[in-house]
Structure 1
Amino acid sequence: MVAPAAKRQAVAHLQATLGMSERRACMVVGADRKSMRYRSCRADDGDLRSRLRELAQQRRRFGYRRLHILLRRGGITINRKKTQRLYREEGLTVRRRRGRRRAIGARAPAPVLALPNQRWSLDFVHDQLATGRRFRVLNIVDDITRECLRAVVDTSISGRRVVREPADLVVERVAPKMIVSDNGTELTSNAVLSWSGEAKIEWHYIAPGRPMQNGYVESFNGRMRDELLNQTLFLTLGQARDIVAGWVEDYNTEYATPAAFAAGLALQVAAPLRAAGSYVPQPLAPPAQPRDNKPRSLVPAG
């Protein structure tokens, strides 16, 4: 027994069952008699706890840090450590899932400038309706701002459909310098190869069996799987499109704020700074160097 509350309970138990005096019970337990008469002055956190449980029920995969941001955004001024304590006392800890084995060697394509629309990543994520019919989601993510540019939901997405989505994004935004994807049949089709050549956009394919070389969109897919797909029962394809669109809007604007990060980068590259030459965009970190996995003996051979 270390906490004063536990010692108070032990003293009360000895007094009730064995008829000990308070002095004798405190001596046996090793508690200070002054702490027996202490009354907590802490304010009642019932409303705060209920609000925290409500947010945790709505965002089942959010930890205390993200819930703390939502509490403060809702007008509740609270210290982060108190949020962590209440989060732990309410038993809201999110169960951690086993991580995947990390790829060894170069995990990313060549570095690009830390500016929006420099490199996009594409990948698919799969799910099924309540009827058992499977559908796919084509996610397009900006690697710099982590913004989800497009999430296309359909039962079948061909190579021509894959080309149509980034082509529309190029008209709405700016053509990226590079697009990264895996070696799926839709992504290696003639339609993709011909469009990337005509648009003069470098299309980088990761090494087979190395999904972490496309880690940005893989991380986004994992979050979508964890926070949305595993938590929702889709009845129709139209409903799935509406729910996915709402979740993407929430992801871009509510918590993760890729849109706010992109706006900040846009301010950094304003025309006056670029004209004056006072701002030089920094490239992303270069790819990791291959590891030497050959063990070396402490004693030279021979």
Structure 2
Amino acid sequence: MARSIGAKSVQSHLAKLFERHGKPVLIRADNGREFIADTLLDWLGEQGVRGVFIAKASPWQNGYTERFNGTMERELFGHEIYHSVLEVQHVIDEWLIKYNTVRPHRSLAGQTPAAYAKMLTDASCP
């Protein structure tokens, strides 16, 4: 059973991300109901963040997400049978840690995201 995430929950998560990483100029999102909710759009506007929506049936407008989703599907869901939602959650959590910290990315010149982030942090510190 899929878990629905409401606009208020999305807003709460975004607020934490903004506090930790700063506010982006824009957020690109599909037209899912969470991102077309008036309350969320109003809140983003108050934060000075512009919502940019992807046209329906236009996955090329969101290449990063499409690439991530394709990688996740190939690596996690193409060859396993899962027996519970809890098992899927655990597998995804472990995979995300690997994907975000250990796995080298071509787009980062073969560095892991953690190494790349450290390099940026080190470069910005006097």
TM class by shorter chain equals: 0.7 to 0.9
Q: Distance in 2 between matches of 1:247 and 1:161?
A: 23
Q: 2:27 corresponds to which letter in structure 1?
A: I
Q: Is the 8 A contact 1:182 1:211 kept in 2?
A: no
Q: What 5-or-longer segments of structure 1 have no aligned partner?
A: 1-132, 136-154, 273-302
Shifted more, 248-257 versus 183-192: the winner is 183-192
Which residue in the other structure is 1:84 paired with? none
User: Against the structure 1 CA distance between its residues 157 and 233, is the aligned structure 2 distance closer, same or farther, given a 3 Å change threshold?
Assistant: farther
State yes or no: 1:249 paired with 2:97.
yes
Q: Specify the alignment match of 1:266 in structure 2.
A: 121
Q: Can you give the 5+ residue segments of structure 2 that lack an aligned partner in the other structure?
A: 105-111
Alignment match, 1:228? 76
Could you say what secondary structure the match of 2:78 adopts?
Answer: helix
Alignment match, 1:176: 24
Rounded to whole Å, the distance in 1 between the matches of 2:81 and 2:5 is 22
Higher relative contact order at CA 8 Å, sep ≥6: structure 1 or structure 2? 1
What amino acid is aligned across from residue 187 of structure 1 in structure 2? F
Q: Distance in 2 between matches of 1:269 and 1:174?
A: 15
- Larger strand proportion of the pair: 1
User: CA–CA distance in 1 between the matches of 2:94 and 2:25?
Assistant: 29
User: What are the Cα deviations for residues 222-259 of structure 1, in whole angstroms up to 9, with x where unaligned?
Assistant: 10111012233332323222211110000111123122
Partner residue in 1 for 2:12: 164
**Is the contact made by 1:211 and 1:218 (CA closer than 8 Å) also made in structure 2?**
yes
Aligned runs of 1:21-40 on 2, under 5 Å? none
User: Which consecutive aligned stretches of 4+ in structure 1 deviate over 4 angstroms post-superposition?
Assistant: none
Letter in 2 for 1:233: I
Matched residue count? 119
Taking the TM superposition and a 5 Å limit, the aligned residue runs for 1:1-302 are 133=1, 135=2, 155-256=3-104, 257-270=112-125, 272=126
Larger radius of gyration: 1
How many angstroms apart in 2 are the aligned matches of 1:234 and 1:162? 27
In angstroms, what is the RMSD of aligned CA positions? 1.8
Indicate conservation of the 8 Å contact 2:102/2:114, yes or no. Answer: no
Query: Which structure's residues are more often helix, by fraction?
Result: 2
Judged with a 3 Å threshold, the aligned counterparts in structure 2 of structure 1 residues 197 and 252 are, in CA distance, closer, same or farther, namely same
Amino acid at match of 2:40: V
Alpha-carbon distance in 1 for matches of 2:26, 2:80: 34
- TM-score under structure 2 length normalisation: 0.80
Q: Which amino acid aligns with 1:231?
A: H
User: For the residues of structure 1 that align with 2:39 and 2:66, how far apart are their CA atoms?
Assistant: 24
Percent identity over the alignment?
Answer: 34
